[in-house]
Amino acid sequence: MEGPGRRSRLRTFAIGGVVGAAGALATARLPSRRARRPRDAPVGLAAFEDAPCFREVVGAEAARYREGGDTVAGPPNST
């Protein structure tokens, strides 16, 4: 009774090998699609400095600071 079970496992192994090899070949043939940012695009946190929501927060904080109020970081230093 070992013959049919062994043959089934061998067939499964062979089919899995063929499917795996086909997947590896298909992946190797795909062109790389890396997302590239434009060379003149800002990097890091500078990318957010032009965002309207960031400008709004900074403007509101600057207005509170000019009025002598607290900022998000805390009260102004008294020197």
pLDDT tens digits, 22-69: 999 988 887 776 667 677 777 777 778 878 888 898 888 888 888 887
Helix (H, G, I), strand (E, B) or coil at 68: coil
pLDDT tens digits, 23-32: 999 888 877 7
Please state the pTM of the whole predicted model: 0.37
**Distance in angstroms (rounded) separating the CA atoms of residues 67 and 61:** 10
